[in-house]
Amino acid sequence: MKGGYMKRFGLFISNHRILVLIIATILLIPAGFGFINTKVNYDLLTYLPSELDSTKGQVILEKDFSNSATSMLMLKNMDEKYVLSIKDKINKIEAVEKVIWVDDIADITVPKEMLPDKVKDTFYKKDTTLLVIKFNTSSSSENTQKAISKIRDIAGKDSFLAGMSAIIKDTRSIADSEAPIYILVAVLLCALVLAFTNESYLTPIIFLISIGYAIAYNMGTNIFLGNISYVTKVIAAVLQLGVTMDYSIFLMHRYDEERGLEGISNVEAMADAIKKTFVSITGSSTTTIAGFLVLCAMQLSLGKDIGIVMAKGVVLGLIATVTVLPALILVLDKPIHRLRHKSFLPDFTRTAKFVTKHYRILTILFVLLFIPAVYGSQNTKVYYNLDESLPKDLPSIVATKKLKEDYKMTTTHFVLIDKNIEDYKVSKMVGELEKLDGINNVFAKESFIGPMVPDFVLPDKVVAEFEKNNYKLFIINSEYQAARKPLDIQLTKMKDIIKKYDKNAMITGEGALTKDLMNIADIDFKRVSLYSIVAVFIIIMIIFTSLSIPVLLVLAIELAIFINMAVPYYTNSVIPFVSSIVVGTIQLGSTIDYAILLTTRFREEIRLGKDNQSAMELAVSSSAKPIVTSALSFFAATIGVTIISDMEMVSSLCSMMARGAIISMFVIIVLLPSIMMKSEKIINKTSRNFEKE
C-alpha cells in the first residue's frame, strides 16, 4: 500500500476503534473452534518423505500386515493363565490387531523349561514374560493412543509397556498439560520486562492483549492444515509473542512521538503512526516471513509445518498491530498516559560513544569471533531420539530401559522381502542376520522351522503373521539404540545382506526411519541455511538498494547465529536435531529486525548531513532502547519455558532462543556499527541514494 492508502486506512481504524474491537473479539469464536479441532501429530518420524524405503515399508506393514505400530508389554510375576486372560482382554481392544505370546507357537501346558531356547529366551526373562502387541493404526493415531491407556489399565501396576506408541502417549500427556503453563509464564515474564522498559505500566497489558488476539487467530487457522506437530503446538505461541512484540513497541513509540506534536488529535496521531509503522516494519516482517517460509523447502515436512504456522503468525501479528493494537491504545489512551513512569532503561549514550570510539578494535573482534563460532557450531552434537527429550521416570521410558536390560531389546527392525524367494535362501538370509553384532533374535517363519520342513507344521495363524500378499516379514530385535553409530553400522550390514537375495527388499521400523531422519536433517539444515541467506540478502538489497549493506547485515546475523549454535559445543551439551534448523531461522527473524532498525536510522542521520561517527552514535543511542526492549521481552518469554519444561526438547529450543536474543542484541548494538563505520566508503559506492534521498 502507498502512504496515502495507509493514512486513510489508519484514519478508518482510529475512527472506528470500538467496531474494530467488537469484530476482533467476535472472530475469537471461530478461532477457538479451530484451535480445539486442530489435530496434533506427536510422531516426528511421520514427517519423512514418502519415497524412502523405510516409509514405503511402513505403508506395507500397515496395509498388508495390519501392523502400523508395535509395542512390547512385560508382565511381572504372573502365571500363564493370568497372562492369557490379559492377552485376551487386550486382543479385544479396537486398535489392537493381534497380541503375540508363547501360546501362538507352543502349548502353554508345556513347562517353559522344556521350550526351545529360542522361544524361551524370546518370551521369558527373569521374573517377567513378554507380549508383542501389534496395532492396526499408527503410533500417534487417536485409536492407538486410547488403546495404550486401556492396555495399561488392563495390565496393572506390575507391567511395563514399551514402544513408540507408549512414548508418544507420555509425550502427549506432558505437552498437553504444560503448553498452557508455557504461555502463562511467557506472558507474565514478558509483561514484567515490558513494565520496566516501557514508560507506562499499562502498555505491557495492551501489547499482550493485542498479540493474544493474533496468537488465537494463528492457532485457530491451523485447522486448515489438517494437523500440526506437537513441537509447533508447544512453541508457536511463545515464538509468535517474542517475534511480533517488536511491531507493538514500534507502533507505541511512533504514536507517542506523533501525539507530542502540536495541533494533532489522538486520531490523527494514530493514523500517522499506523502509516509510518507499517512502512517501517514491512521490510523486517517480510524478511522474517521469508525466513520461516524457507523451512518449507525442507525434505522433512516438519519444516513446512513449523514454517507455515510461524509465517502465518507473523502476518497475523502484523495485521493485529495495525488494527487491534491502535484501537486498544485509543480506547485506553487516558489511563495509559496517566500511569506513565520513567523507563528503567538507560539512554545508551555511553554505549554509543564507546562503540563508535573503539570501532576499529570491535571490527577486529567481529572477524575473530567467527573462528570459534563457526568451529563450535559445526561440531555441536545433536540427538534424534524422542525418548531422550523426556523425563527418565516416565512409564514408557522406564519400560524401554527394562526391555533393554532384561530382553536385550532396544530397537525393532522390520524387514520385507519378496514372498517368492525360495525357503532355503530365506533360511540362509536369516542365519546371516542372526550372526550380526547386536542382533538379539530374528522372528521369521524360517526361524521356527528348517528350510526342509513344510509350512503346515506351524499353525496357520503363525504363518499368516510372517507372510501376506507379496511379502515375507522378518521382525528383528536389536540391542542397539536408534540414532547411534552401532545401529547405523548394523543397518548398513543388514541392508547389504537382504539386498543380495532381493534387490527390492526394505528395512523399516524406528531404527531405519531415524537413520533416514538423520541423513535428511543434515541435508535440510544446509539447504535452509543457504536459502535463508539468499532470501534475506535479496530483501535487504531491495530495501536499501545496496549491494554492500546486505553483505554486512547477513555477516552480522550469521555471526549471532553461529555463536548461539556454538555454545552447546563449548558447554559439552547435546541439542535436539530440530534446534539447528528451527532456532537459526527464528534468530534470523529477530536479528534482522534489529539490524534493519539500526541501519535505517544510520542512513537517516547520514542523509541529514552528519559525519560517519556522529551518525552512528545517534543511530546506536536511539535504536538501542527498542532493540534491548524487544530482546529482553523475547528472552523473558522463552527463558521461563526453559526453566519449567519437563520436555528436554522444548527446554533446549527455548534456551537457545533466549540466549540467541541476547547474543543478537549484543552483535547488532556493539559489533554491527563497527563494521558499518569501517565500510562507509564501500557502502556509499555500492548503494543508491545512501547519502541523499
In which element (H, E) is residue 468 found?
A: strand 467-468
Residue 95 is predicted with a pLDDT of: 93
Q: Residue 464's pLDDT is what?
A: 65
691 inside domain: no
Q: 482 near 511, Cβ under 8 Å? A: yes
In terms of DSSP H, where are the helices of 571-611?
577-607
Q: Judge if 433 and 536 occupy the same domain.
A: no
**pLDDT digits 0-9 by tens, 391-410:** 889 999 999 999 988 888 88
CATH number for position 97: 3.30.70.100
User: Exposed e or buried b for every residue in 477-494, given b needs 16+ CB within 10 A?
Assistant: bbbbbbbbeebbebbebb
The domain that contains 431 carries what CATH number?
A: 3.30.70
Residue that is last in its domain, among 493, 515, 537: 515
Q: Are residues 231 and 138 in the same domain?
A: no
> Is 49 a member of any domain?
no
Q: Which residue has the cell 559439552?
A: 572
Q: Is residue 541 located within the same domain as residue 499? A: no
Which of 515, 538, 556 is where one domain is finished?
515
State percent of the chain over pLDDT 90: 56
Cα–Cα distance for residue pair 623/286, rounded to 1 Å: 20
Q: Say if residue 413 is in the same domain as residue 553.
A: no
Q: What is the mean pLDDT of the chain?
A: 90
- Side-chain-side CA neighbours of residue 137 (13 Å): 13
Task: For residue range 86-136, list pLDDT tens digits in order.
Answer: 999 999 999 999 999 998 878 888 888 888 887 888 899 989 999 999 999
Say yes or no: 140 and 264 in one domain. Answer: no
Residue 578 has pLDDT above 90, yes or no: no
Residue 242: per-residue pLDDT: 78
481 and 334 in a single domain? The answer is no
Whole-angstrom distance, CA of residue 528 vs CA of residue 208: 31
How many structural domains are present in the chain? 3
Task: Work out the average pLDDT over 193-205.
Answer: 88
Domain at 630, CATH number: 1.20.1640.10
User: Average pLDDT for residues 149-159, to the nearest whole number?
Assistant: 95
Interatomic CA distance for residues 3 and 161, integer angstroms: 63
- pLDDT tens by residue, 298-307: 999 999 999 9
Whether residue 532 sits in one domain with residue 643: yes
If asked whether residues 206 and 324 sit together in one domain, one would say yes
CA 500 to chain centre: 39
| pLDDT 10s digits, 32-82 | 999 999 999 988 888 999 999 999 999 998 888 888 888 999 999 998 899
Cβ neighbours of residue 310 closer than 8 Å, sequence gap 6 or more: 236, 239, 240, 243, 292, 295, 586
Residue 175 domain-assigned (yes or no): yes
Its domain, for residue 474, covers 401-515
Please check whether residue 621 lies inside any domain of the structure: yes
pLDDT of 246 reads 82
pLDDT single digits (tens) 281-316: 887 788 889 888 999 999 999 999 999 999 999 999
Pair (628, 562) in one structural domain:
yes
Residue 340 per-residue DSSP state: B
Q: What is the mean pLDDT of residues 423-444?
A: 89
Q: What is the pLDDT of residue 120?
A: 87
For helices 548-570 and 648-666, give the axis angle rounded to 10 degrees. Answer: 130
577 found inside a domain = yes
Length of the chain: 693
Within this chain, do residues 256 and 295 fall inside the same structural domain, yes or no? yes
Same domain, 522 and 511: no
Neighbours of 572 (CB within 10 A): 7
Domain contains 87: yes
Point out the domain boundary residue: 481, 515, 549: 515
Which of 314, 343, 277 has its CA nearest to residue 629?
A: 343
**Percentage of the chain lying above the pLDDT 70 cut:** 97
Residues 224 and 371 in one domain: yes
User: What does the pLDDT read at residue 243?
Assistant: 79
Encoded amino acid at 422, one letter:
E
Q: Which residues pair with 163 in a beta bridge?
A: none
Give the span between the Cα atoms of 78 and 101, in whole angstroms. Answer: 14
Model confidence pLDDT, tens digit, residues 324-337: 999 999 999 999 98
pLDDT of residue 460: 60
- The pair phi, psi for residue 546, each rounded to 5°, is -145, 150
Tell me the whole-structure pTM to 2 decimals: 0.86
pLDDT of 2 reads 46
Assigned domain for 480 exists: yes
DSSP state of 140: T
- Residue 391 belongs to some domain of the structure: no
Contacts for 228 with CB less than 8 Å, ≥ 6 apart: 38, 39, 40, 41, 222, 236, 305, 309
